[in-house]
């Protein structure tokens, strides 16, 4: 058994896209160009507006916050919910109180196979 720490201290500050108070901890990368990471967005933190380099699944595991798509309209998201962005889709994420998420990026992501979609306005 191997135990790994996923604390912010082991991550890298996100400085691109006019981001602030956000840290990304990459957990794994496969030969199939997939990565899984643990992301901390502190209170009042954001990951700035940018295009997804490949399809991304953002799974909130603690706290709550908001996400946007290309229209930059904020949609609330909380623990136990996930958002999927397609390759090239512009998006932003942030939180007033703080939010932690697992981020999975891969050319082959199909969360609809396993998860029910959340309805939002």
Residue 108 lies in a domain: no
Domain that holds residue 93: 10-63+81-102
Average pLDDT, the chain: 84
**Which pairs count as long-range contacts for 28-32, CB under 8 Å and 24+ apart, including other chains?**
32/106, 32/107, 32/108
What total number of domains does the chain contain?
A: 1
Closest CA to 58 of 21, 95, 33, 12: 95
What percent of the chain is modeled with pLDDT above 70? 79
Tens of pLDDT, residue by residue over 4-21, are 555 677 778 888 889 998
CATH number at residue 37: 2.60.120.10
Q: Which residue has the higher pLDDT, 64 or 23?
A: 64
């Amino acid at each position: 058994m191997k135990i790994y720490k996923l604390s912010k201290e082991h991550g890298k500050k996100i400085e691109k896209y006019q981001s602030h108070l956000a840290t990304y901890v990459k957990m794994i990368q496969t030969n199939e160009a997939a990565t899984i990471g643990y992301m901390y967005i502190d209170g009042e933190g954001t990951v700035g507006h940018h295009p997804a380099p490949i399809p991304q699944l953002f799974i909130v595991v603690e706290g709550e916050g908001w996400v946007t798509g290309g229209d930059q309209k904020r949609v609330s998201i909380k623990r136990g919910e996930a958002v999927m962005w397609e390759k090239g889709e512009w998006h932003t994420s942030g939180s007033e109180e703080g939010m932690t998420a697992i981020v999975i990026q891969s050319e082959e992501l199909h969360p609809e196979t396993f998860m029910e979609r959340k309805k939002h306005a």
